[in-house]
Amino acid sequence: MAEEIRLDVQNEDSGARLDVFLSDHVPMTRSAAANLIAKGSVEVDGIVRRSSFRLKYGMTIHVVIERSDEPGRMKEYDLPLDILYEDSCIIVLNKPAGLVVHPGAGNRDETLVNALIRRYPDISGVGDMARPGIVHRLDKLTSGVMVVARNQDAYNVLAGAFKKHEHTRIYQALCYGHMGEDAGRIETLMDRHPGDRKKMSSKVAHGREAITDWKVLQEWPQFSLLELSLMTGRTHQIRVHLSDMGHPVVADPQYGGKKTANSIINPMIRARVKSLGRQMLYAWKLGIVHPATGEKMEFTADIPADMHKLIELLDSTI
């Protein structure tokens, strides 16, 4: 059974890669989008293009997806989940650091999706078969609040709202240095790092709009605690923005936070930071509109233990 999808490129997507555009606008992973493109199942204005093709405003994308009538069931994963709220439409949870959200290369079975399917079998057919119920993601090493859809109607509403940036997503992060002001906005383009395809960069000539609002909550010598609001939802957005500003997230293994630990003057703090193994960043607050009732809802997660302990150490050294 084939499903045909037609998408029009809007102004905000001008300059985006074809595979990135598809993964953002169709329920599929970027690798799945690349596979479709490679098979010739995607046309741009009637022409088959490569995954790296840059889109322009007004172009029309035509996608043909072959759907199996009997998709295979994912393996279940027995993992306790910190559920903050649940009803017949949504599940809200506090994802722990270290847990991958959905199956992918290197981890097919022990992910959040596998754990969700064990507890909520009804989500197995919701949305993308490769990541059922998932309407947004957190990095593996980032903890915090996530919402998951339990039925297709809820999925469609939530996914649409995330694409339009209608939900409130607020994070807290410990970063290096002082921002120089009490609050501000970071507004850049963002795309793959030209020298490392596993990373993103805001120091690019072309890319997609990325906006992060921030304010300072607390400061110590060499460190700041920030509250950050996502106005857009680009991959690694907060981590990239802070790193490119010269204030990487503490202990970030990918964007300079780990390397910067060598500059910490206090030996106790330096040793603690070097022992962390993950970025000091978590999704603190999520505000959504309930997909069925229209009620405005807000959920928060407690600060993770490793981040809390580091803040206590910083407080004790002032």
Residues annotated as catalytic (active site), given as ranges: 139
DSSP class of residue 42 equals E
Residue at 262: amino acid letter: N
- With residue 149 as reference, give the H or E element that holds it: strand 143-149
What gap in Å lies between CA 54 and CA 16, rounded to an integer? 5
The helix/strand/coil state of 293 is coil
- The pair phi, psi for residue 50, each rounded to 5°, is -80, 165
121 contacts: CB under 8 Å, gap ≥ 6: none
Largest Cα–Cα distance in the chain? Answer: 65
Question: Given the DSSP bridges, would you call strands 223-230 and 168-176 parallel, antiparallel or unpaired?
Answer: antiparallel
| Lookup: tokens for 33 | 């989008």
Q: Which residues of 8-46 are buried (b: 16+ CB within 10 A; e: fewer)?
A: ebeeebbbbbbbbbbbbbbbbbbebbbebbeeebbebee
User: Where are the extended beta strands (E) located within 51-160?
Assistant: 60-66, 83-86, 90-95, 143-149
Q: Where are the alpha helices (DSSP H) in 247-304?
A: 267-274
Radius of gyration of the chain (CA): 20
What gap in Å lies between CA 133 and CA 148, rounded to an integer? 5
Residue at 59: amino acid letter: M
What gap in Å lies between CA 68 and CA 72, rounded to an integer? 9
